[in-house]
Copies of this chain bind each other. A is one copy, B any other.
Amino acid sequence: MSSTKDNEPVERPRIVIIGGGFGGLATARALANDLVDVTLIDRRNYHLFQPLLYQVATGELSPANIASPLRAIVRRQRNCTILLAEVQGVDVEAREVQLADGERVVFDALIVAAGASHSYFGHEEWAQHAPGLKTVEDATTIRARLLAAFERAERTASAELCRELLTFVIVGAGPTGIELAGAISEVAHYALRQDFRHIDPTDATIFVVEAGPRALSAFPEDFDPVIRSALDRLEVTLLPKTRVTDITAEGVRVECEGESRWLGSRTVLWAAGVQASPLGRELAEACGCDVDRAGRVIVEADLTVSNHPEIFVIGDLASVTVGDHRLPGLAPVAMQQGQFVAQVLRARIQGDSPRERFEYRDRGNLAVIGRYSAVAVIGSRRWSGFLAWLVWIFIHLMEITQFRNRLLVLVQWGWTFFTRDRSARLITNSRVSSERSVSEPEPSTAKSG
């Protein structure tokens, strides 16, 4: 059946949302009580709580714990239809979204919240050796590679190969990179500690390569000593002011202040660049507006595209500059933008004059550094250490969409807290039949890359 609902009265505006992430979902939910027809298009059947994806990648949580079916979320919102489909493009003049299967969805207003994926800064060939962390498949791929590295180390007779297998390099010292590094350290030092007979997993070496001078550069410099001591305790080595110049199956070549260095490693993870969905660039071309270097659409103050007040771009796909800095690609930004767009649409429908400018209310910023430690800036307050970690736990538990998932995550965190064990340690999607097959890229990487 057609989702355009031609048989319904035309006065009910058709709002089409592309993307069921934080931004798109917030828009849809904010329109729950309005006399509109909302169509939410996503190629996945679930909303993913990305901030905890690194815990899936490191075997603490299961994918379903952080992924809620979109249909279940909007089940009681009768004005919202979910369309599981791949978007091919937008016909701006005809006001139609084109789907990959040929169907066209007509809109009166369009919200594009298609998000971002990894950017390898023009080195797409690195993707196969250094998977990033954006999707469930990315997370299970990283989980399989991480665990397979220890398995291969246990079986190899070569001391050099063993050292390379127990060396983990993470590119990028933003929140994702630091969270991954901390979790891998916990895996090596606690979860796997007594599991092997020939190797000692605590011999693992973990590097975080960062082009800038500091880890977690979104946080004030006052935190540097706390971050440094937390990384020391985790035995994570930060390499600041260091650029990646090559990545192969055997390791990473880096350059620091003119000096080149080879880091032999069989597990390299990418937590550096993001690149906006290609839909952004296409849309910008069609509308005659600009994109920034990462492909984000530079939108107007009310989040619309220039000359097209019916098309909004929000979330990681939008480039919004306040003063001299760009709003970061964070869930709270996307959610507030979604709520703002819903308000604008509601005002237009009711004939009121809509708000003209999106303003981000920065409620704070949090990053976890291994177990028991985090840094937090909330309003004018700054926390670090165990207290910040408790704040982080509380906020993330509250934000997970379904009550059941909240309970399951709590049980698993509680278990990990008391036993330091992790049980979601599955190597799936690949059988570890030989060394060769383990080092080959997983099929899911190829797909999501």
Contact = CB atoms under 8 A, between A and B. Distances in A.
Interface of A: 1-3, 43-46, 62-65, 67-69, 71-72, 75-76, 81, 83-86, 100-101, 103, 136-137, 140, 147, 151, 154-157, 192, 194-198, 402, 404-405, 407-408, 411-412, 415, 419, 421, 423-429, 431-435, 443-444, 447
Contact of A194 (B76, B424, B433, B443): B76
A6 to B, nearest CB: 12
A270 to B, nearest CB: 20
Given A402-B423, A426-B63, A1 B45 contact: no
Contacts of A44: 427, 431
Nearest to A199: B1
A289 B75 CA distance: 60
Nearest to A443: B443
Given A155-B3, A443-B443, A100 B434 contact: yes
Contact of A67 (B100, B426, B431, B434): B426
A426 B100 contact: no
A85 B155 contact: yes
A103 B434 CA distance: 10
- Pairs of residues from A and B, 8 with the lowest C-beta to C-beta distance, nearest first: A64-B424, A62-B62, A86-B433, A71-B195, A101-B434, A1-B198, A69-B425, A84-B151
Contacts of A86: 431-434
Nearest to A67: B426
State the number of copies, please.
Answer: 2
Contact of A426 (B64, B156, B198, B411): B64
B196 A423 contact: no
A195 B72 contact: yes
A207 B329 CA distance: 49
Contacts of A100: 433-434
A187 to B, nearest CB: 12
24 contacts: A3-B198, A44-B427, A45-B432, A46-B425, A62-B64, A69-B195, A69-B423, A69-B425, A69-B426, A71-B192, A72-B421, A72-B423, A75-B194, A75-B195, A83-B155, A84-B155, A85-B432, A101-B435, A136-B428, A137-B429, A402-B423, A404-B421, A408-B411, A408-B412
Contacts of A432: 43, 45, 84-86
A81 B137 contact: no
A157 B4 CA distance: 12
- Residue among A45, A75, A101, A192 having the largest count of chain B Cβ atoms under 10 Å: A45
